[in-house]
Structure 1
Amino acid sequence: MPLEQRPGDDQAALLARFVAGDRHAAEALTDLIAPRILRFAARMLGDLAEAEDVTQEAMLRLWRMAPDWQSGAAQPATWVYRVAANLCTDRLRRRRKMLHEVPELPDTSPSQHAQMMQTARIQALEAALSQLPERQRQAVILRHLEGMSNPEIAAIMMLGVEAVESLTARGKRNLSAILAGDREALGYDDDD
């Protein structure tokens, strides 16, 4: 879901109301931002428990810095995405350092063929995403799975729009190459 403003979603105003002591504003802002951060972190890390920790830490950092929020700065959600991306990067680096593999997603055994095929496709995508370089993975997830615009992604990743476009294009090409041999097994015909 893109970060653009929707009526009644003035994130900076909700943050200001939180600073003024309005707990309902904190709940509303959390409801708006946290689920998207959780999805992003889960896709980056491949581990829901770790993603929950990242989401909690990112939101906690938002509440801590709320009194110093600069009006006219990035939207709070953009700031929280940036924090979450950094936290995910830190965790991924620690994993590489400790030589631990990202755990596989649990294998559910749906009873219907279509559900099984969808599960296989999701797992193939997650596995392929984990093979992309980190910055490409971030750009592809934010653009194609979270539905964000290139300017939003540029703000989160602290890059220019052209750099985001390049990362996304390279990421898509790399994903296609990684998944090319699995098209038939995943139920995709040549004309799909």
Structure 2
Amino acid sequence: MENKLITVEEDFQNKILEVERKNATLSLESGEQQMVNTALKSPGSDIDRLTKANGWSLAEKATALTLALRGDATDILQTLSLEEQEDYHQLVRHLEMRYGQSHLEHVYHSQLKNRCQKNNELLPEFEADIARLVRLAYSSTPENVMERLAVQAFLDGLRDTETRQALTLARPSKLVDALARALEFEAAKQSCKLRSS
């Protein structure tokens, strides 16, 4: 019986070392985020596979997760009580609040709603930022709905009213089409100005 306990304990230690070795191979900057993301993912993460294979308790999961944290991610431990550090669900909740994206969706919604083309901002730069904000604000939305939201945000935020009117009449269905039409319209408008000078 004692040999069996030693074997289980050694197996547990080996698994922790294996997790630490995997984490050490990741680059520091992206590695920290990747480790936290991997640890927070639902079924299929390394910690979940290890815990299912070894039948770990929640306290053992919390220990493995704590040992897997590196860099800035370890700072979260200083903000938690000892009970919270030993509670796997609390630990995951605090990590999700600090490194997760779901609680930021309302921020991205607001940024998208208020996003307007800046004075010296080129149309492709503006389009790229709209696409980024739409993906962040509506990450779980179907692609076709996301496209319509992006096109509308692009139209609403255009600085030039003539370009906005021309695009509204063109009714583009995709953001890339809206950008192409806006660039064409701007080029035609510039050409007309040169001819009339």
Asked if these proteins are the same fold (TM beyond 0.5), I'd say no
Q: What is the TM-score normalised by the length of structure 1?
A: 0.29
Q: What is the TM-score normalised by the length of structure 2?
A: 0.28
Larger Rg: 2
The structure, 1 or 2, with the larger RCO (C-alpha pairs under 8 Å, 6+ apart) is 1
